[in-house]
Amino acid sequence: MAYEALDFYDIDSLLSDEERMVRDMVRDWVDEKVIPNIEEACRDGVFPDEWRVDLGEMGILGAPLKGYGCPGLSYIAYGLICQELERGDSGVRSFASVQGSLAMYPIWDFGSEEQKNHYLPRMATGEWVGCFGLTEPDYGSNPGDMITRAEDKGDHYLLNGAKMWITNGTIADLAVVWAKLDGVIRGFIVEKGDPGFTAPEMTGKHSLKASVTSELVFQDCRIPKDRILPDVKGLKGPFSCLNNARFGISWGAVGAAQSCFNSAKEYALSRIQFDHPIASFQLVQNKLAWMLREITKAQLLAYHLGQKKDDGTWIPEHISLAKMNNVDIALEIARMARDIHGANGILDEYPVMRHMANLESVKTYEGTHDIHNLILGRHITGIQAFTREFTE
């Protein structure tokens, strides 16, 4: 059976031909390459290199960026790409989010002309993989207090410190690393093989198993002076990257939820208990109706946010709401779908438990669920509640 995406309010009719074609291209690729192979990739804990090549060939990395060999698609098209990738697996979407929004974007927005020309075309084709180093072992939700330091040594910079939980770290050819130079957060491009830089892989994850997660360790790591991103200072740098990645996640979560809904619906229609399909029982229908309702709301949220991204009328709080809500409902839908599958729900024959476990990471990274609540709380009240020290 061809995958039929839940589209209760006919969002499809709002898309341009180009957006639909890009969506269908990625959808077909996910059906053909990701879904048949994802369980094996998870078991082996690898991100298949073939997927990197394919993503580059399709030309979807750094989707909304223009120039320097980047695709220049609309934000809605970028959202649709994330939605389809995450329907396959959050790990595949994570790869694309990190490459496009967290590694290419800061170079595109804050890099020098030389940096853009050097890195972006090769990153758009997937030849070079990037990662984004912000989180540290002791600083997750409050990256502003990071420890990693850069020192100006005249003809080079010297980096010291460690990053943790870095997606793509071990497989990356370059890392965009945020570190303090004279007490101010700055972005640096560190390349694989730079002296004093290592990126050991973290193991033992129960979530995002097909995505590579790493530490980045800098021990007197020397990098040339032209590797600093010249055009940004302070938390604005990393946060503007996160805005784009979070936007993609708000669409991606819809894809994961659609996958869980489809599986639950089909299972409920075919599973007979007490002589009837379980789909015929009101309690099960109530669950399916709730899923339909929440997915439809999430789609409308994502679509409208996409329009605001495209016409430039968005504020970061809009993105916080969509990321928080859509991941939240996707996780709840995954859990509910797991329940509808009964014991079968824990098997890798069905996608639901994998999505469920993945979404636990998605809930935490790119600003935890509650950090987004705090961002919205500050927006509503004008009072920040992140810290008791009122320093802002």
Q: Which stretch binds another protein (CB under 8 A): 17-25, 292-300, 327-335, 374-382?
A: 17-25
DSSP E strands, 69-182? 70-71, 130-133, 149-152, 156-167, 174-181
Selection from ligand FAD, another protein, none that 370 binds (CB < 5 to 8 A by kind) is ligand FAD
Residue 270, helix vs strand vs coil: helix
What mask, x for binding another protein by CB under 8 A, covers residues 68 to 107? ---xxx----------------------------------
29 sits near another protein (criterion: CB under 8 A): yes
Note whether 63 and 55 are within 8 A (CB).
no
- Chosen from ligand FAD, another protein, none, partner binding at 60 (C-beta under 5 to 8 Å by type): another protein
Question: Per the structure block, which two tokens stand in for 198?
Answer: 């290592």
For residue 84, report the phi and psi dihedrals to the nearest 5 degrees: -70, -40
Residue 372, both tokens = 């987004």
Instruction: Note whether 302 and 330 are within 8 A (CB).
Output: no
DSSP states along 229-268 = -TT--STHHHHHHHHHHHHHHHHHHHHHHHHHHHHHHHHH
Q: Is the CB of residue 149 less than 8 Å from the CB of residue 194?
A: no
The CB-of-349 to ligand FAD minimum distance in angstroms stands at 24
Residue whose CB is less far from ligand FAD, 72 or 137:
137
For the CB of residue 207, give the shortest distance to ligand FAD in the complex, in Å. Answer: 6
Tokens of 282: 């009101």
The reply on whether position 2 binds another protein by CB under 8 A is yes
Nearer to another protein, 237 or 248 (CB): 248
Q: Select from 17, 155, 275, 311 the one that contacts another protein (CB under 8 A).
A: 17
Tell me which residue has tokens 């599973």.
271
Nearest 10 degrees: Cα torsion 258, 264, 265, 271: 160
CB of 274 to ligand FAD, least distance (A): 41
Indicate whether 4 belongs to the interface with another protein (CB under 8 A): yes
Q: What is the 3-state secondary structure (H, E, C) of 318-383?
A: HHHHHHHHHHHHHHHHHHHHHHHCHHHHHCCCCCHHHHHHHHHHHHHCCCCHHHHHHHHHHHHHCC
Residue 101 or 170 with smaller CB distance to another protein: 101
Q: Which of 19, 136, 215, 366 is catalytic?
A: 366
Residue 48 interacting entry, from ligand FAD, another protein, none, C-beta within 5 to 8 Å by type: none
* CA diameter of the chain: 79
Name the residue nearer to another protein (CB basis): 17 or 389.
Answer: 17
Of residues 34, 42, 60, 174, which one binds another protein by CB under 8 A? 60
Active-site annotation holds for 366: yes
Instruction: Note whether 380 binds another protein by CB under 8 A.
Output: no
Residues in touch with another protein (CB under 8 A):
1-2, 4, 17-18, 21-22, 25, 28-29, 57-60, 63, 71-73
Q: Could you list the active site residues?
A: 366
